[in-house]
Amino acid sequence: MSQQNAHSVRKEIENASSGAQPIRGDLGASILGPQNVPLQRENPDLLASPWTDNGTLPNLKFSFANSRNRLLTGGWAREVTIRELPIAKDLAGVNMRLKPGAIRELHWHKEAEWAYMLAGTARITAVDDQGRTFIDDVRQGDLWNFPTVTPHSIQALDDGCEFLLVFDDGNFSENNTFLLTDLFKHTPREILAKNFGVPEKAFADIPLDVEHERYIFSGQVPGSLFKEMPKSSAGPVPQTFSHHMMAQEPIICPGGWVRITDSTNFPAASTIAAALVNINPGGMREIHWHPHDEWQYYISGHGRMTVFASGEHARTFNYQAGDVGYVPFSMSHYVENQGEEPLLYLEIFRTNKFTDFSLNQWMAMTPPELIQAHLNVDKSTVAALHKDKQILVGS
């Protein structure tokens, strides 16, 4: 054996022992050239796609771990938008961390802001277009929703916090929000003085350069909610901007549970609907599809999803905590728990009402003879297919 051939054999043995190779049965071969083994292990169904995958589909996965993280005195922020995940035209997401007392500067957006608290506690404030005030403390599992152009703020409490923000436009960027200090910086001081009825010198020390930008900055943990409640002649907002999702009764299924929050039980969320899905080990979110694009955020566990796009096109992806998934509307898919712990993730849609179409339900409500004629299966199999909607299937 030549030295070159011996090297190739050794390389093939080394790569095969890594446990992440493009091999499925008798198909494929080990990698001889450069490789990223950790990334390959995270994406086994891309490296060695199931035989059911076919054709070409766009990328439907991007991890926050691959996003640029913006570090500031009070914490950090990173985003996944249409720039990072081009298929995601309807929705964009921001993952943000605030240290105890840190403040996400007073600001507003063109887009509505929907949020899920991942950890810790925070105080949120807002004022609506009638001058009515809102203030509340939120913790892990709570939501908030600020309608478009509603000015608001977020401040971490004693233990700090981390949360997911979702915006109803894939082109959104957290770096282009309307900031209070930016507004003051770009308004002539004589106009500020006239507007507020104070001398110009009152604004002598407002931040004027990037080094003094607030955005996410350190602060003192605020006092009790009761003491901080603003006094407004217009009163409080008529409908709350926050929602305690974990206080909802879950839909219990053989394979786990689901909590659905949309405008029917959280009226402020008029443009975003969501489901928090918990899949037990070995279980799966049944095969289904939606009339709207689905933006996913994986909170814990390991999952696999195959997306069927018609025309014999299908592709399988693997997901873990911190990953974003995306499914264009009408494409059928499932999510399977491949780990030994529960798989927890969010399904999020740009709509006011959560809706899905279930393959189980379709089969259950279709004449059995019609199913048998299509699938060429026996009557016992047709009977097994004839079951109503499950949402989550057990192992």
List active site positions. Answer: 347
Residue 45, classed as helix, strand or coil, is helix
Type of residue numbered 243: H
Residues in CB range of 54: below 8 A, 6 or more apart: 312, 313, 314
Q: Report, in angstroms and rounded to the nearest whole number, the Rg of the chain calculated over CA atoms.
A: 25
The H or E element that residue 373 is part of is: helix 368-375
Q: For residues 239 and 126, give the distance between their C-alpha atoms in angstroms, rounded to a whole number.
A: 12
Smallest CA-to-CA distance from 346 within 240, 246, 258, 250 is with 258
Q: For residues 269 and 134, give the distance between their C-alpha atoms in angstroms, rounded to a whole number.
A: 15
Output the CA–CA distances (angstroms, integers) from residue 232 to 107, 127, 130, 150, 335, in the order listed.
Answer: 20, 10, 11, 17, 47
| Backbone phi, psi, residue 311, to 5° | 60, 30
Q: What stretches of 75-204 show up as alpha helix (H) in DSSP? A: 180-185, 189-196
What are the beta bridge partners of residue 231?
none
| Backbone phi, psi, residue 39, to 5° | -70, -40
Output the CA–CA distances (angstroms, integers) from residue 72 to 69, 179, 211, 214, 274, in the order listed.
Answer: 10, 15, 10, 9, 30
Which tokens go with 110?
A: 């063109």
Residue written as token pair 């009408």: 330
Which tokens go with 73?
A: 């005195």
Which tokens go with 304?
A: 């696999």
Smallest CA-to-CA distance from 342 within 384, 304, 301, 292 is with 301
